[in-house]
Structure 1
Amino acid sequence: MKSAALTLYIDGNCPFCVAEVTRLHAWDQHGRLAFVDIAEPGFDPAPLGVDPAALNRLLHGRTVEGQWVVGIDSMIAAYTLVGKGWLISPLRVPVMRPAFRAFYRAFARNRMTISRLGLKIRPACTDEKCALKIGL
């Protein structure tokens, strides 16, 4: 079996994050993405060599070659791999990247609050845990 080109380490407790992963999974017709829920009991980041707090702070992706992509770079990589890179093309504009990075960091830091404020993204989310329906 062929390895995914990119593995995304996502927060399965975050309704917004789960909705995004569900969308990416639906678009991934060629199995280029894999997903790991860092909120699952028993998840051990030690073999990855990444600080658990860092994994929870910003979206992390790891390429099949072992290279890490973080924040908007992980989003660019994921969207590109599923053929939807055009949707996030503004993130690629060099002069705008610092602003997008700052916005992303602020959003990521407040993602749970944003999700709770009525975005109603994922009705399957109950309590603090969202059920990922993509076979993680």
Structure 2
Amino acid sequence: MASEPAQSTVYFDGACPLCRAEIGYYSRTDEAGALCFVDVSKAGAATPEGLSQQQAMARFHVRAADGRLLSGAAAFVEVWRRLPRWRWAARVASLPGVLAVLELGYRLFLPIRPFLSRSLGRLAPREAAARPQRPGT
């Protein structure tokens, strides 16, 4: 009988509305429980060994089931590899040169992440208030 593969641990910045939304999506689609999510923005949160809380929040990190600590695009690919609906993206990322292009895109995205997060944070309360309530809720 084959044993279940160990979980990969996803370290994310829960203070970032954009990050929370993406992690929420991954969490909802992780039907097999292949991922464990750690919000490194919380006081006393366990961070990957060798990383400060600030370093862990500055970039996306995943501890793969085999113990490797991945960051940036490689960390996203590990998440995609563990989610059945996203395995196609992990396969595409394994093609020559694709991971390097994804990493470049991620590095270009990082400086604008705070702006996008603030914008999303300002929109979220208005969207929630604008949503009509269903009767009985």
Normalising by the residue count of structure 1, what TM-score does the alignment of the two structures yield? 0.73
Structure number with greater CO (CA < 8 Å, separation at least 6) is 1
Q: Secondary structure at the match of 1:123?
A: helix
Deviations 1:22-81 (A, max 9, x none): 111111011100110111022253x72223333122100002332111111111111111
CA distance in 1, matches of 2:5, 2:99: 30
Conserved? CA contact 2:78–2:90, under 8 Å: no
> Hey, what does 2:32 align to over in structure 1?
30
Q: Deviations over 1:64-116 (max 9, x none)?
A: 33211111111111111111122465433322332321210221232121123
1:64 lines up with 2:40 in the alignment: no
The worse-fitting range, judged by mean Cα deviation, of 88-97 and 102-111 is 88-97
- Residues 98-117 of structure 1 mapped to structure 2, 5 A cutoff: 98-117=100-119
Q: Which amino acid aligns with 1:94?
A: P
Which one-letter code corresponds to 1:18 in the other structure? Answer: R
Q: 1:98 to 1:16 in 2, by over 3 A?
A: same
- Greater Rg by CA: 2
Change (3 A) 1:106 1:48: same
Q: Percent identity?
A: 26
Unpaired stretches in structure 2, ≥5 consecutive residues: 126-137
Task: Specify which structure has the higher proportion of helix.
Answer: 2
1:61 is paired with a residue of what secondary structure?
Answer: strand
What is the DSSP-based 3-state SS (H/G/I as helix, E as strand, rest coil) of the residue aligned with 1:64? Answer: coil
TM-score scaled by length of structure 2? 0.73
What RMSD over aligned residues (CA atoms) do the two structures have, in Å? 2.8
Alignment correspondent of 1:12: 14
